[in-house]
Structure 1
């Protein structure tokens, strides 16, 4: 072997940027043994040892542990397998760091108490299955045991909030608010009332499912009225009520009369809860969906317009009745 092609441990340190102490350690452990020794007993390393040491340096910089480094160098495992395993581990670490950052930013935005910060941290660090359990428990509690609209139950379960790996502070806040909402006894009672109402309607033969097109028609018609400043008790509102009543009659196969208006008003009274809108808005925020419109003003306007028509009918009926005089 040509000694001119060999490097002393000092030269090897200069070439790799590692300290002499570190190279000596790797040599003593048999990870990068010396190629040979000179007559004075000093270690010498060839080009293959240099390449081996540079690989060790790179792997250690990537936090690969020494036993794994040894297996790579001994061809007991491939470099690709090690890289894939450590990339996956780094993904987990990066996700955890992003969540911590998002939690801290959310705490700052909400001016949270230490107790709320601790709860928020626990919630976001749950597994996806554990987080979904909050919503599944809510659905089981509010819809369980009654023959509610199965399409609604399926929609709730299929629209499960999924906190992303790179969650923003806004998404963490939305998740925190959603958990608070689904655990609120008042909200659960309101949704249970909706489920029981749906079951009663199904018992009477209503199996029409969800009514997205009808809801959109109400949103568009009433939305234009709100934008134009039309009051629900105005004459113009009467035409809107007539148009929408006809849509309800067609959808549900009912006669378009005052009984239908009373029935629509009952449905609105049961379903028009601002917290339901907030639930879906929070789910959309967590899942990164487009922002959902607030339909509460729409259904409130429609309900008042319906009630005005029904109250007017009663007033007219009262005027038509002769009062009579005592005998």
Structure 2
């Protein structure tokens, strides 16, 4: 015989209050199995299991009509879960966006107008974000007299906020969106590119041939970086071999720029690398730090490697040491 339990026992078993169990019975969600002689509601194990399911679904945000549909087999649990998963994911995205705005407010002396702007920035659609970045590059490259292929490369430096961004990515987007809207930043970046590529040598640097050479040199540098970070010492044969290839690549690159091929000069330049001097040179290049900041934010948003001057300097020091080892008797 199927054992029946009084409503107090059912409440203890399910974690629902007595009043909640009565409410679900009155609403026709889970009716009592029977009434005692005194008219008290009683439930069997099947009804208790249904009440436990009701509690779980309510905790997950399901409404009474949805629960009725599941209990009546009009809606499957899978379909209900898919619907609510979508709602929960939407809510998570909204909470991440709010958290990013709040963190930015905490870090900065933010005005009420800026709060409204930040909320608008994180709520932008993909098309709105694309349009904002395109307008930035339209301004920066207007009148830039270089090969169209280089301009196209600049336009490709854009953020792609993922469907489910982290708080760090949202914070980076807020900062980037504010920067590309800022007239002083836009003007400084524009000035940098027009200054660097406004000379004949700068125009040459932006040609497809030189960009291909630069890409090959970068690939070789990344190979050197991987070898160094794998633990290869600077006095190893592998380090010396790749350092010599880097020197030859530098000589070829400079020859394409100047017409003069001087491998020894390229090697001496690499051996004489000094990170402090390199940092000072970068600091004298007006606007370069803004371009680096833009690239760093884009990399953060896209989840790709960020510019890292210290890491780059460590590789160059390793290459210099390898070349010195090769020169030692």
TM bracket (short chain): 0.5 to 0.7
Gaps of 5+ in 1: 221-242, 258-270, 299-327
Secondary structure of the structure 2 residue equivalent to 1:44 = strand
Between 1:72-81 and 1:181-190, the stretch displaced more is 181-190
1:184-199 to structure 2, matched below 5 A, reads: 184=183, 185-187=186-188, 189-190=190-191, 193=194
| Other-structure match for 1:212 | 215
Following TM superposition, by how much is the alpha carbon of 1:286 offset from its aligned partner in structure 2, in angstroms?
A: 2.7
Q: 1:81 to 1:217 in 2, by over 3 A?
A: closer
Alpha-carbon displacement from aligned partner over 1:261-302 (angstroms, at most 9, x marks no partner): xxxxxxxxxx9742323321221233333331469xx9xxxx
Asked if 2 retains the 8 angstrom alpha-carbon contact of 1:149 and 1:198, the reply is: no
Asked if 2 retains the 8 angstrom alpha-carbon contact of 1:8 and 1:45, the reply is: yes
Alpha-carbon displacement from aligned partner over 1:198-241 (angstroms, at most 9, x marks no partner): 99x989x95436233467999x9xxxxxxxxxxxxxxxxxxxxx
Aligned residues: 255
Secondary structure of the structure 2 residue equivalent to 1:136 = helix
C-alpha distance in 1, partners of 2:126/2:156?
Answer: 14
C-alpha distance in 2, partners of 1:14/1:245?
Answer: 82
Q: 1:96 to 1:10 in 2, by over 3 A?
A: same
Q: 1:148 to 1:81 in 2, by over 3 A?
A: farther
C-alpha distance in 1, partners of 2:176/2:155?
Answer: 15
| Other-structure match for 1:281 | 296
Q: 1:246 to 1:13 in 2, by over 3 A?
A: closer
Secondary structure of the structure 2 residue equivalent to 1:208 = helix
Secondary structure of the structure 2 residue equivalent to 1:68 = helix
Following TM superposition, by how much is the alpha carbon of 1:52 offset from its aligned partner in structure 2, in angstroms?
A: 0.8
Select which of 118, 122, 131 maps to 2:129: 131
1:247 lines up with 2:253 in the alignment: yes
Asked if 2 retains the 8 angstrom alpha-carbon contact of 1:13 and 1:19, the reply is: yes
Following TM superposition, by how much is the alpha carbon of 1:126 offset from its aligned partner in structure 2, in angstroms?
A: 2.3
| Other-structure match for 1:303 | none
| Other-structure match for 1:94 | 92
| Other-structure match for 2:11 | 13
Following TM superposition, by how much is the alpha carbon of 1:25 offset from its aligned partner in structure 2, in angstroms?
A: 1.3
Following TM superposition, by how much is the alpha carbon of 1:63 offset from its aligned partner in structure 2, in angstroms?
A: 1.0
Q: 1:109 to 1:23 in 2, by over 3 A?
A: same
Asked if 2 retains the 8 angstrom alpha-carbon contact of 1:72 and 1:79, the reply is: yes
| Other-structure match for 2:272 | none
| Other-structure match for 1:167 | 166
Could you say which structure has the larger radius of gyration?
A: 1
| Other-structure match for 1:41 | 39
Secondary structure of the structure 2 residue equivalent to 1:284 = helix
Asked if 1 retains the 8 angstrom alpha-carbon contact of 2:172 and 2:300, the reply is: yes
1:253-292 to structure 2, matched below 5 A, reads: 255-256=259-260, 273-274=287-288, 275-292=290-307
Secondary structure of the structure 1 residue equivalent to 2:68 = helix
C-alpha distance in 2, partners of 1:65/1:139?
Answer: 49
C-alpha distance in 1, partners of 2:55/2:220?
Answer: 66
C-alpha distance in 2, partners of 1:78/1:128?
Answer: 34
Select which of 53, 56, 64 maps to 2:54: 56
C-alpha distance in 1, partners of 2:130/2:177?
Answer: 10
